[in-house]
Amino acid sequence: MIRTPPSPRTHALATDHQLGIERYLTGFHTRHTPSYRFDLIVLGGGVAGSLAALTAARRGLDVAVVTKAGLREGNTRYARGGLAAVLSDVDSFDSHVADTLRCGRGLCDRDVVERIIHGGPQAVQTLDRLGTEFDRGVSGDWMLSMEGGHSFPRIIHAGGDSTGIEIQRALTEALHKEERITLFPDTFAIDLLREPDGQVSGVVTKAANGQLLLFSASNVLLATGGAGQVYRETTNPVVSTGDGVAMATRAGAALRDMEFVQFHPTCLYIAGAARVLISEVVRGAGGRLVDRNRVAFMESAHPDGDLAPRDVVSREVFRRMIETGDTNVYLDFSDVEGDPHVIFPSISRTCRVFGMDIARDPIPVRPGAHYMVGGLAVDTEGRTNLPGLWAVGESASTGLHGANRMGSNSLLEGLVMGTRAGESIHQDPAPHVVKRAFEGASRRWHPIGELPVDVNIEDLTYSLKSMMWRQMGVERDLVGMTEAVEKIGFWQGVVQQLAEPGLPAWKLLNMLTVARLISISALSREESRGVHYRADFPQMQAGAAQHTLLTPRIQDDLVHSVRLEHVPVKTAIQEGLS
């Protein structure tokens, strides 16, 4: 149902939004904090961070890989689809480029798209050399499948629907073997250190034993993944709380296109169970979306039917749920060629636990937040606007995805950009380390036992996730987004002022920061484009597409505001990095 906005609203080309985010999450002093020194610190151990670390280490740099949880726990592990690359004679780079540009709805950077897609075959070869066991046919050739938006079968898999698990296994084993890489699992990165000249030179962290640790380095690379956990329904693991984007924002890094959050249309939906992504490969193999009356509805919604771009499928699923009064739709495997238990073993095992036989029973699915398309604005090598700070993978906005990521392009981007960033850092390892003592601003935490009210972090977290799902989800409008911005700001103030310090509060503050940036950006885009759909502005604006650029303003250890601008596609990265 469309809510009527109170009055027409327009936005200036550049506006300042008040944030009031404190520069540091906790108090510290570098003189009193144990420290490590490396050439490069990589935050995150997924495909992008691992390739960056391996590339830099093999070129002679000493690298620390710091991960929030275990080394194998992250979004890469949960990639059930595959890796897109041009690997057959019937396919072509031009076709893959054209498909990606079409899906991006005018916001892709063509040069970036071409560079990353041409790097696809080499990226697959890199994983192959690391021991990744991709699926092969009887002739020994790689098995390739279709996904939505792609014109040819170009998706390579491992273990059917277990691609991410296999890639992560190979990468983690390679990290353990590399002598110049030191691994720090279960270490939570809290905040970036920044020199007076703007140079990022270190990271303050908290180890599993509760001790604060300082990592000092010439360069810091963020490969911290997405922020799907700000939504109630998500395919992302519990570690995906947007920590890297939030800490970079507090340090003053520019962001781009934060309003574009992709929802995967088919998450297994069983009340009380964790949401499990049902790969798009199922529909590529013949699976069909049907409603509660077993009516297939995608054929009439888009020429590509069930293999339409993800934003289209997600909206159609959402609308069919409303029309039928159901909490989900269903995915029917009956037209899949072959035995679905053999083709999709992971999905089969999961559904069997809940008493469903995928060869016989349509399984309940609904959309879930899947991929943060926007992120930290970076150049073609992964540099942000802050010297010494790099970003790759889902935490970065490179220009590949535009307004809507095409399926299986994300692993490709992580591989290519991770490698490029590692090479570039090696070529120009600026000789900066922490040159002065830092003292984090004293937090305004009340002493334990003197809190005027008890702040229920768990309840606030659920309230945030539920509100983002309702008001910043598949369909949005002015009234809902305005309310979201106001509520998030209020909750942020409550947590900053009153919550007991520690990891739960810090993670929630990171989630609130990212959710606020998403909402502010979405509110400013008065059109529907890609994964951003506004019921009150259902059409895409005519004329040249523009990026949403956010630049934090820091003063007196406070991110007091963020400047929002709409800038042309060709200048968006340069503007953000200047």
- Any idea what the Cα angle at residue 173 is, between residues 171 and 178, rounded to 5°? 95
Burial class (CB in 10 A: 0-12, 13-18, 19+), 327: exposed
The three-state (H, E, C) secondary structure of 257-275, written as one string = CCCCEEEEEEEECCCCCCC
The residues, any chain, with a CB within 8 Å of residue 54's CB and separated by 6 or more, are: 171, 174, 175, 178, 181, 422
- DSSP secondary structure letter of residue 476: B
- Any idea what the Cα angle at residue 352 is, between residues 240 and 270, rounded to 5°? 50
CA distances from 457 to 34, 205, 491, 538 (A): 29, 21, 10, 36
Do 381 and 420 contact (CB within 8 A), yes or no?
A: yes
CA distances from 109 to 282, 309, 374, 572 (A): 30, 19, 13, 10
Q: Is 360 left (phi over 0), alpha (psi -120 to 50) or beta?
A: alpha
- Any idea what the Cα angle at residue 38 is, between residues 35 and 44, rounded to 5°? 90
The three-state (H, E, C) secondary structure of 344-370, written as one string = CHHHHHHHHHCCCCCCCCCEEEEEEEE
From CA 384, how far away is CA 244, in angstroms rounded?
A: 13
Neighbours of 272 (CB within 10 A): 5
Backbone angles phi and psi of 433, in degrees to 5: -135, 180
Do 351 and 345 contact (CB within 8 A), yes or no?
A: no
From CA 482, how far away is CA 506, in angstroms rounded?
A: 25
Q: Annotated active-site positions, please?
A: 310
Do 22 and 557 contact (CB within 8 A), yes or no?
A: yes
392 pairs with which residues across the strands?
A: none
Do 300 and 251 contact (CB within 8 A), yes or no?
A: no
The three-state (H, E, C) secondary structure of 518-534, written as one string = HHHHHHHCCCCECCECE
